[in-house]
Amino acid sequence: MTELAGSVAVVTGAAVGSGRAIAERLAAEGADVLAADIDVHGGEETLTRIGAAGGRARFVRADMRVPADVEALVAAAGPLRVLVNNAGGGGHVAPHFPDAAPADWGAALDLNLRGAMLATQLALEPMRRTGGGAIVNVASTAGLGLAPYRSPEYAAAKAGLIRFTSTLASLRERFGVRVNCVVPDWILTARAEQELAGMTPDERAAAPEPLGLDALTDALVRLVRDDELAGRVVVLRGGEPPRLLAPDEAR
């Protein structure tokens, strides 16, 4: 079992929303959290909240689209045991492929997939030196199935992150590192609450039940601690129990 108490845990995209909730939860479990984000003000607020609850945390400004920033982040972590590749987003911001410029949809791929891949690669050797560790990738149900989606680049990146995770079970034997993935549906962040407040009754009735932040952080902590799981994917939908996909299942 990967022990959280006293372990260094990096959380990307930790300045707000689900990333902040994950950072707070890991700190509450005793981890020394390194919170990373491009939003310095939000990152400092995350540190303030963790400190007020008696936890330990540092902040590093890092843009996961920039390889040098990712390299500096992993180097700053020191004896790394836990990495949460949570940074992502942009699926709601128009225009999308094919109307978006290649640089714009390419940046979405970098943020939602390539940054997580690079962080994972860079974390393997530091984790091996500390006796192993756990990596959890945070994807999205946008990456599941074959239905149309408003942002093809976001859906493709999240699908890639899920498949990337599922190919890495062998890293447990090679490096002592387990890589798993949580795939949440609509998460009840502050932005989601604002969206809900602005919906008509019919829109609200048609919307999926939001997933509570506690459900996300509970599932993530279980993946960090469960030594039996590697290369596995857990789907989270509001009002439903977590669903661990079989190794040959992706829907």
**Residues with a known catalytic role:** 154
Give φ, ψ of 14 to 5 degrees: -95, 10
Residues 6+ apart with CB under 8 A from 243: 234, 235, 236, 237
Could you tell me if 33 and 57 are in contact, meaning their C-beta atoms sit under 8 angstroms apart?
A: yes
Question: Checking DSSP bridges between strand 8-12 and strand 32-37, what pairing results, if any?
Answer: parallel
Output the furthest CA–CA distance in the chain (Å, rounded). Answer: 54
How many residues comprise the chain? 251
Q: What is the rounded CA–CA span in Å between residue 245 and residue 251?
A: 8
